[in-house]
A and B are shown apart, each in its own frame.
Chain A
Amino acid sequence: MSLLETVDVKVKFGGNVALNDVSISVEAGSVTGLIGPNGAGKTTLFNTITGLQPLTSGKIVFNGKDVTKEPPHKRTRMGLARTFQRLELFTSLSVRDNVRVAGEIRNRWSFRTTRMDVNAETDRIIMLVGLADVADREVGEIPTGQARVVELARALMIQPTLLLLDEPASGQTEEETEQFGELLKDLARNDGLGICLVEHDMALVMKVCETIHVLDFGTIISSGTAEYVRNDPTVIDAYLGSPESVG
């Protein structure tokens, strides 16, 4: 059983079909890539998985449970975390408080089971993702690349089993991306996290993802290993335009 499955997810905005019967799966302990040209529906798919966007039809199965009707916060409490492509940081708080408040929110809903020591965990996560240098700065002042890492740190604070990352590496330097890739692999391999990665940096995707789904105009056009997807002619067409459509 997969950690997450979307089954024939369809989303329509008026007459526009943003997602057309999309079925993907994400396994625990591995990194799954979700790629596709701009406007393919990647963020919309993330929104349906987290519950921010209602479905027209289809269902979302997480941990073997149908969560299609659950509100966002209930899904999170089952172990689902995400980052946002358009940054959703808490701009009135410092970097450290952005991370800390996530732990505090978590302690509010998991107090019956496991309460974490928020301060210690905040320090650990900040070290883990490499934000120690900027921890006490205002979150609005740090560069975008690092702001995306704050989003990741915040998501990690709730100790999720599934992590959805929406373009986490855009705005990062090459060196930062390198470290970031290693971190994702570690998280999947050592902590058993299921990670779904939306990313335009193909080098990163090819390096860390075991499975890749390719989305184009709201439809999955290819799924498989990095090797398979890279050589799939439909994928190449989607990215470069098919020879027939030229001229």
Chain B
Amino acid sequence: MQTFLQYTILGLAIGGSYFIAASGLVVTYTTSGIFNFAQGAIAMLAVFTYWQFRWGWNWPAPLALLMVLGVLAPLLGAALYQVVMKNLRGTSEVTKIIVPIGVMLGFQALATWVWNPTSSTPRQFQKFFGPNAFVHFGSIKVSWHEIIAFVIAIAIAVGIRLLFVRTRSGVAMRAVVDDPELLQLNGGRPERLAMISWAGGSFLAALAGILIQPMIGSAMSAGQLTLLVIDAFAAAMFGRLRSLPRTLAGALVIGLTTTYVIAYFPSKWTWSSSFRNSLPMIFLFIVLIVLPQDRLRGATVLRLRERFRMPSIRTAWIAGLVLMVVVFCLKVIMERTAVNTLTLALTFAIIALSLVLLTGFAGEINLAALSFGAIAVIVVYHFGTTGSGTDARTTLWGILLAAVVTALVGAVIALPALRLRGLYLALATMAFGVFVSRMVLTERNERDIFGLKFTIFTAGQLTIPKPKIGPFDFNSPDAFLFLCAGLFVIIGIGMVYLRHSGYGRRLAAMKDSPAASATLGMSVVRLKLSIFMMSAAIAGIGGVMMAAQIGTVNSDRFDILLSLSLMMITVVGGIGYISGALFAGLFLIAFVQMLDLTLKKFAVDYSSLEAIFLFFVSAVTVLPATIGITMGKNPSGAVSDIVNGLDQIKQSKSLVITLVGLEAAIWALTATDVITNWHFVILTMINLFIVPVIGGKVLLARAMRGVPKPVPPELIGIDRPFTSDDLAEMDRALDLEGVVVPSAGTVREGATGVSA
């Protein structure tokens, strides 16, 4: 009985803290329509900042609290809204999900940068009034901290409820998301209200973080705190992102169940701690299954700002060929380590293709691509290899089996969420990703499953050999590089074919308007399911290739944060394009690594400036997230910008010849060892990015010489007189050709008269 009461109180306190974080989610979602994936990251930042004030600099607790909760957290929230989230109006659901994820990854990287996790002195985070402040109720003792957490949760529940129902600004806040324009017409100020609610949401996140950190009883970890938000997600889902009482109920149930699992599961059950960690995910899944079906919606905005143009099949073949040639040329000049990096980048590009297929073509979201890769790797490890030692090879059947299993797992994950909006599928996949990391990849004990002795993740790492398909052995690095490049090209071209097929058009229809598709008789769920399975299979194949390239993989390789980064960078590259996937792989693996190596090389070469270069090394870790955050401004992605730029270059033959010629020369110099690889990279960058800009300017200047600057149409007649050409042009534009206007003569005279 005593244990029961003790754990009930702890459960209520933890659940209460979950509720505080979840209520912040509900508030920001209700007023801005953006689901704040960064809620956990804000909590994490608050915990670290509070620690810094309270124990790092020994401030008194009230001052530290006031600074974090009263000043910094609300400021952060308001700034987030003003700088980042405000720009998301009129973008697609994908962008609305990706940008907060970018913020989350950014905060995560920032915290690791500022508060070095490998620091020698462990950071102690204590409960309020110290670790020994207890109250005794009969035989049980409860810490003040737990009581405070629970009381604050209840107070906040009542407070927000009153705010939303009773006060004028609360009602206005609820109106913001329904129809901001209408609210504005009625004298409300949606932007300001949304900003205030973000400040409030951020405050709630910070409060939840500071309350919960000492109760979970582990060391401060940026990753763990950031992902703690999943518990809050589950609670918020329980209230369907609207109802606060139900959110509170959900949070308390989660809090209580997790503590009861600790209390009552026999300690010989080795999986009970991973089960406890996975509980919120399991809970989230159950909630998704029982949630009633959403109403089908049309396009929420009239015209999305994202636009993707599909290349023709011919262009796809040419591009594929060019890619193979480029890979070959690079292979010739590159060192072994660089070849490995390029291969790894290509395997990530294959995984990113699965995202392009799912998100770019069908508008659905998978936030755990690498977790599907993990499933495939486990299948290949157990069933898909032959031989042993250096003769071990992955078989074609192993890869295919892995693809099929991943597709089936994908179906199981997606099925409950497919009836629901894209956001719910995104959350379901994220829950799955965390579940895989915490429950599946921690399975290192032998289990007796249906009489089958089995260890899922042997010794915490799996070795995947290179594949051998029929007579072709891909064991050598070069052969495997070409296999990966070829696989990327084949899947990519296949996807272009798919997009041009009836199936692809139906996908586009479903993405653009689910409501219209349904009223044309489409069963949306079945189509969504098929595309999700296909995408999961590609992610699986990519994952196997990735593991085969690395050789031996541990669970870190499939971390959810890595999946999120990949998703984000693919969106940055252009989620609607095959080239967006290539961009993602190259950027995430090759570019970041190259930048990192270059900066470290500088730091060694110029030791007096070491500190500056090492600063930039850290800055590189924040770079992907920073780019992700800018998506609100340019939702179509970077590749589309580059392609648009190339279109202008293509106009001029001489410029194209110059570019290709220069690049060939650089390549030849490298191939003959006149310059190093490192110079090759730098010169190539200059050639590809700077020469076109300068060349374009020169060409434009030359073309413009002698040609008078065009006068904008509205200034004709003011800056220069009307010419007969202008008049003919106007007639044509107004469709007046052949129309006899009686007063035409006078009008024309009048017009010339003005300019005379």
Contact = CB atoms under 8 A, between A and B. Distances in A.
A73 B524 contact: yes
Given A97-B505, A101-B502, A104-B506, A89 B521 contact: no
A71 B310 CA distance: 32
B295 interface: yes
A107 B513 CA distance: 19
Interface in A160-194: none
A128 interface: no
Given A90-B512, A92-B511, A101-B508, A52 B296 contact: yes
Nearest to B516: A88
Contact of A91 (B304, B505, B522): B304
Contacts of A89: 512-513, 516
Contacts of B406: none
A100 B505 contact: yes
A129 interface: no
Contacts of B498: none
B521 A158 contact: yes
B748 interface: no
Given A73-B523, A76-B520, A86 B302 contact: yes
A137 to B, nearest CB: 13
B515 A88 contact: yes
B298 interface: yes
B604 interface: no
Interface string B282-313: 00000000000001101100111001101000
B69 to A, nearest CB: 35
Contact of A72 (B303, B505, B511, B519): B519
B659 interface: no
Contacts of A88: 298-299, 512-513, 515-516
Interface residues of B, number: 28
A54 B292 CA distance: 13
A87 B508 contact: no
A144 to B, nearest CB: 10
Nearest to B523: A73
Contacts of A157: 520
B308 A82 contact: no
B518 interface: yes
A39 to B, nearest CB: 12
B40 to A, nearest CB: 33
Given A73-B523, A89-B512, A104 B298 contact: no
A105 B520 contact: yes
Given A90-B512, A91-B303, A76 B505 contact: no
Interface in B491-520: 502, 505-506, 508-509, 511-513, 515-520
A106 B521 contact: yes
A81 B512 contact: no
A93 interface: yes
Contact of A90 (B295, B508, B521): B508
Contacts of B302: 86-87
A227 B448 CA distance: 81
A163 B521 CA distance: 14
A146 interface: no
A76 B518 contact: yes
Contact of A52 (B295, B303, B523): B295
Given A73-B524, A88-B299, A105-B522, A93 B505 contact: yes
Interface in B521-536: 521-524
A97 B511 CA distance: 14
B519 A76 contact: yes
A84 to B, nearest CB: 7
Nearest to A90: B512
A241 interface: no
A2 B513 CA distance: 31
A239 interface: no
Contact of B298 (A76, A86, A102, A154): A86
Contacts of B307: 91-92, 140
Interface in A87-118: 87-93, 97, 100-102, 104-109, 118
Interface in B286-344: 295-296, 298-299, 302-304, 307-308, 310
Contact of B295 (A53, A100, A107, A109): A53
Nearest to B293: A71
Contacts of A100: 505
A90 B298 contact: no
Interface string B112-130: 0000000000000000000
Contacts of A72: 296, 515, 518-519
Nearest to B360: A92
A80 B521 CA distance: 9
Contact of A109 (B296, B511, B521): B521
Nearest to B514: A88
A30 interface: no
A77 interface: yes
Contact of B299 (A91, A97, A104): A91
Given A89-B512, A93-B505, A140 B521 contact: no
Contacts of B515: 52, 72, 84, 88
B502 A104 contact: yes
A84 B522 contact: no
Which residue, A97, A101, A102, has most C-beta atoms of chain B within 10 A? A101
Contacts of B299: 88, 91
A106 B517 CA distance: 10
Contacts of B522: 73, 105, 108-109
B521 A101 contact: no
Contacts of B511: 92
24 contacts: A51-B518, A52-B296, A72-B518, A72-B519, A84-B515, A84-B516, A86-B298, A88-B516, A90-B508, A90-B509, A92-B310, A93-B505, A93-B508, A97-B505, A97-B508, A100-B505, A101-B502, A101-B508, A102-B520, A105-B517, A108-B506, A118-B502, A157-B520, A158-B521
Interface of A: 50-54, 71-73, 76-77, 80-82, 84, 86-93, 97, 100-102, 104-109, 118, 140, 154-155, 157-158
Given A82-B519, A84-B298, A92-B512, 18 more contacts: A50-B519, A72-B515, A73-B522, A80-B519, A86-B302, A89-B512, A89-B513, A90-B509, A90-B513, A92-B307, A92-B308, A93-B509, A101-B508, A104-B502, A105-B517, A109-B521, A118-B502, A158-B521
- Across chains A and B, which 3 residue pairs bring their CB atoms closest together, nearest first? A76-B521, A88-B516, A72-B518
